[in-house]
Amino acid sequence: AQLSEIPWSQESVPQGAFTTINALLADGSRVVLSPIEVNEPVLLTKLSGPNGRATLSNMMTPGMRAVTIRTDEIAGVGGFVTPGDRVDVVLTRDAGEIQEVAKNAQGAAGSTITSEIVVADAKVLSVGQGADERQTTPQISNSVTIEVTTDGAQKVALARTVGTLSLSLRSASEGADGKSGVTTISSFGGSVASNVQAAAGSVFDAVTKEPEKPKFKTVIVTRGTKAEEYQVPSRDQK
């Protein structure tokens, strides 16, 4: 790539733009951190400091942290995550150990598999080893590096030890909204285990319950040519 100086209206020069090549290189060479298009003014925010290196840390927002999540084609949204996208990090785990005491106390039955968002609206810094935000073609990779807060980095570190992490791609026009609760299998209309238990109980009752015996018996008494029926209590009734 080549640098050149062209006439530009003083009133429309973007804030932070270098107006001369000498000003750009005065303190030392710089590294481009974000894509710069042809005929685009060179902005300070897209460059490293003087004598900077092409490192991931130069691309990060001050005060933020970078964490890498190992993933696969499915968990990585089919490879359609690219640098610059925004994602949610979803944790799926078996919360059985945590809920064991409450579960036993309530006599509950069913699966304790849960899913929840541990980090929302995180910026994707790189996919694999690629950090070019102009990348538009799907790239299958086994790792994605995202930018999170210090608290978010701690959550991701803990989450990867207790369950499975996956990514949920956010719309480019969507803001950092909203909160999402914990989703369980019962959200689908009841747990599999409780339904099986109910069905097994019905079968057990049908097999073990004895048929109800009649409470009365019919006795026919004949006097001459006339017969009459009488209902008398069954001897089996107690």
Token pair for residue 34? Answer: 């974000």
Identify the segments of the chain with pLDDT beneath 50: 73-74, 101, 105, 107-109, 191-193, 196, 200, 203-204, 207
Cα 238 from Cα 235, distance rounded (Å): 8
What is the per-residue pLDDT across 115-158, written as a single tens digit (0 to 9) for each? 889 999 999 988 876 555 555 555 566 788 999 999 999 999 99
Helix (H) or strand (E) run with residue 21 in it: helix 21-25
Range 28-37, long-range pairs (CB < 8 A, 24+ positions): 31/58, 33/58, 33/59, 34/59, 34/133, 35/132, 35/133, 35/134, 36/1
Domain range summary for the chain, segments of one domain joined by +: 1-54, 63-212
State the pLDDT at residue 27. 81
The DSSP code sequence of 111-158 is: --EEEEEEEEEEEEEEETTB--TT--S----SEEEEEE-HHHHHHHHH
The pLDDT assigned to 132 comes to 54
pLDDT reported for residue 203: 46
- Determine the pLDDT at residue 155: 94
The answer to whether the CB of 213 falls within 8 A of the CB of 235 is no
CA 98/CA 150 separation, integer angstroms: 25
Q: Give the residue from 181, 166, 164, 188 showing the smallest Cα distance to 110.
A: 188
